[in-house]
Amino acid sequence: MTAPGVLIAGAGPAGSVTALLLARAGIDVRVIERARFPRRKVCGEYLNSGAVEALARLGVLAAVEAVSAPLRGVRLVAPGAPAVTLPFSRPACACARDVLDTVLLEAAVAAGAVVERARVEDVIVEDARCTGVRVRTEDGALEDRRARIVVGADGIGSVVARKLGLSKPPRRGARYAVGGHYAGFGAFDEHVEMYVGAGAYFALNPLSEISANVMVVVPKQRLAEWSRDVDAGVGGAAAALGRGVRSFEGATRLGARVSIGPLSHEVRRVSVPGALLVGDAAGFLDPFTGQGIFLALTGAEHAAAAIAQGLRDPAREGAAFAEYGRWRASDLTWRRRLCKTVALLVDVPPLARRAARGLARFPDAGATLIDAVAGAIPPQRAFRPAVLGRLLS
Ligand SMILES: Cc1cc2nc3c(=O)[nH]c(=O)nc-3n(C[C@H](O)[C@H](O)[C@H](O)COP(=O)(O)OP(=O)(O)OC[C@H]3O[C@@H](n4cnc5c(N)ncnc54)[C@H](O)[C@@H]3O)c2cc1C
């Protein structure tokens, strides 16, 4: 097996799109994925308008739209405040991850990327440079795979980040998510529905007229209390959060229940000589605002540009990776700030009431906030006095 230019661990949106862009640039790229596709991924499966625009830039939007459902806005039900409905100003959609991720991986393969089914178990570092990964093959053998550049696109539990010594310990108090696909919730109207309260939430994302992605996100303690009957625990939490508008009554699960946690992954930096992290592997953003796929796609665009530059001119690799790291750190810092602000606005009753009044009085400020969360405009714009200042006035 000859060594490719680039080896990518993980075929989620970040890995497949990095592979797609590098293959299109004529670079020899191999993706190593542990799962057999199509595979489920724990996710709310909402693609915000920034993600939809990224898919259009990549030339794969038509393929994704053919297997997704359009979304017009989000309905938020917060404690002690009237429900608010916020329209999206640009197209957004719901797309099951087994389908979305297969479309993106197939696009990468069509562009020339090679896929190997194996689990990355370690990284190879020689003379302070990452020169490959150690994989467990389908036959159970442990083998080395070398490349000029290794990409860790292996998600929230990134082995590449951990083995390179880049992962920070998980944040204390991080939440857990449980959910799946369900039918029988009644009618949907192309809106994501979020029911929030006491550090938890229950989210419904309509995948079709009759089926929805359902996620219940709770503190770890709550999950531990449900160990005897998780379905009953999830149903009880959803009924309490749904406040009589939505509950699991009459709903039927389609396929397996999925869960993940702790919802936390932070890294010290996103590259070392010879290796770079992208997507969730490069830092996880709380899923409440649904920006992860957008970040995976835009991160892949920036990462692919840095990798291509490093391969063209190895003397420039350090500078290109450092520039990618600065972009990522700045973008993620602002998005984390925005997430925390939105979480406070919906979860603290006096703030939720004030924000609901502000949204009714200043719809333009609400639209800017939604556009910032949806990746349509830079996140910093939400922090202008004309936006958050007005909403809380
Ligand atoms: C509960 C929850 C709800 C969410 N809801 C939304 C939402 O509605 N909208 C949104 O935009 N984002 C959402 N997100 C975030 C979104 O799912 C992620 O940000 C996105 O999947 C990141 O893509 P990725 O390619 O970086 O990683 P992933 O999608 O996790 O892909 C990583 C890939 O790497 C593979 N892999 C992992 N380890 C190895 C290994 N050792 N060897 C080989 N392969 C490996 C995995 O099998 C997987 O295919 C949510 C996340 C959670 C947890």
Which atom of ligand 1 approaches the CA of 282 most closely?
Answer: 26
Beta strands in the chain (DSSP E): 6-9, 29-33, 46-47, 69-77, 84-94, 114-126, 129-137, 142-146, 149-152, 175-183, 191-197, 200-206, 211-219, 252-260, 271-272, 275-277
Query: Could you read off the pLDDT of 270-283 as tens digits, one per residue?
Result: 999 999 999 999 99
Q: What is the mean pLDDT of the segment spanning 143-159?
A: 97
Confidence of residue 349 (pLDDT cuts 50, 70, 90): confident
Q: Is the residue at 366 inside a domain? A: no
| 191 and 248 both lie in a single domain | yes
Query: Could you read off the pLDDT of 210-239 as tens digits, one per residue?
Result: 899 999 999 988 888 888 888 888 888 888
Mean pLDDT (the chain) is: 94
CATH of the domain at 222: 3.30.9.100
Choose which residue among 143, 202, 280, 285 to substitute to test ligand 1 binding: the one with the highest number of ligand atoms within 8 A of its C-beta: 280
Comparing C-alpha atoms, which of 237, 176, 174 is closest to residue 202?
237
Q: Considering its fold, how many domains does the chain have in total?
A: 2
pLDDT number for residue 17 = 98
Q: Is the residue at 100 inside a domain? A: yes
Confidence of residue 246 (pLDDT cuts 50, 70, 90): confident
Q: What is the mean pLDDT of the segment spanning 23-35?
A: 98
Ligand 1: residue whose CA is nearest its atom 30: 155
**Rounded Cα distance, 200 and 23, in Å:** 42
| 157 and 54 both lie in a single domain | yes
Q: Does 385 have pLDDT greater than 60? A: yes
Q: Does 3 have pLDDT greater than 80? A: no
Place of tokens 């001119």: 313
Enumerate residues 6+ apart whose C-beta is below 8 A from 275: 123, 130, 149, 150, 151, 152, 160, 164
Strand partners for 46: 94
CA atoms within 13 A on the CB side of 292: 25
What domain range is 117 assigned to? Answer: 6-70+94-170+265-335
- Choosing from 208, 237, 260, the residue where a domain stops is 260
Choose which residue among 58, 293, 295, 336 to substitute to test ligand 1 binding: the one with the highest number of ligand atoms within 8 A of its C-beta: 293
| 229 and 159 both lie in a single domain | no
Phi and psi torsions of 302, nearest 5°: -65, -40
Q: What is the mean pLDDT of the segment spanning 356-372?
A: 91
**Rounded Cα distance, 160 and 238, in Å:** 36
Q: Pocket around ligand 1: residues whose beta carbon is below 6 Å from it?
A: 9-15, 32-35, 41-46, 119-120, 153-155, 159, 177, 215, 260, 263, 279-281, 287, 290-294, 296
| 256 and 272 both lie in a single domain | no
Q: What is the mean pLDDT of the segment spanning 7-32?
A: 98
Choose which residue among 136, 154, 259, 332 to substitute to test ligand 1 binding: the one with the highest number of ligand atoms within 8 A of its C-beta: 154
| 63 and 136 both lie in a single domain | yes
Q: Is the residue at 384 inside a domain? A: no
Spacing of C-alpha 110 from chain mean position: 24
- Choosing from 260, 295, 322, the residue where a domain stops is 260
Q: Is the residue at 390 inside a domain? A: no
| 102 and 193 both lie in a single domain | no
pLDDT number for residue 250 = 87
Percent of the chain with pLDDT over 70: 99
CATH of the domain at 162: 3.50.50.60
Q: Burial level of 174, CB count in 10 A (0-12/13-18/19+)?
A: middle
135 in Cβ contact with 154 (< 8 Å)? no
pLDDT number for residue 2 = 59
Confidence of residue 1 (pLDDT cuts 50, 70, 90): low
Q: What is the H or E stretch that residue 184 is in? A: none
150 in Cβ contact with 9 (< 8 Å)? yes
Query: Could you read off the pLDDT of 293-343 as tens digits, one per residue?
Result: 999 999 999 999 999 999 999 999 999 999 999 999 999 999 999 999 998
Enumerate residues 6+ apart whose C-beta is below 8 A from 345: 78, 351, 352, 355, 391, 392
327 Cα–ligand 1 center, Å: 21
| 19 and 106 both lie in a single domain | yes
Confidence of residue 104 (pLDDT cuts 50, 70, 90): very high
pLDDT number for residue 90 = 95
278 Cα–ligand 1 center, Å: 11
Q: Does 80 have pLDDT greater than 60? A: yes
- Choosing from 228, 260, 292, the residue where a domain stops is 260
Q: Is the residue at 359 inside a domain? A: no
| 217 and 129 both lie in a single domain | no
Q: Is the residue at 164 inside a domain? A: yes
Q: How many CB atoms lie within 10 A of CB 147?
A: 22
Q: Is the residue at 47 inside a domain? A: yes
**Rounded Cα distance, 11 and 239, in Å:** 36
pLDDT number for residue 178 = 93
292 Cα–ligand 1 center, Å: 8
| 15 and 50 both lie in a single domain | yes
Place of tokens 């150690």: 134
Q: Burial level of 113, CB count in 10 A (0-12/13-18/19+)?
A: buried
Q: What is the mean pLDDT of the segment spanning 81-94?
A: 93
Ligand 1: residue whose CA is nearest its atom 50: 43
| 22 and 133 both lie in a single domain | yes
Q: Is the residue at 380 inside a domain? A: no
Choose which residue among 43, 176, 297 to substitute to test ligand 1 binding: the one with the highest number of ligand atoms within 8 A of its C-beta: 43
**Rounded Cα distance, 187 and 207, in Å:** 12
| 115 and 16 both lie in a single domain | yes
| 56 and 120 both lie in a single domain | yes
Spacing of C-alpha 9 from chain mean position: 17
Which atom of ligand 1 approaches the CA of 15 most closely?
Answer: 25
236 Cα–ligand 1 center, Å: 27
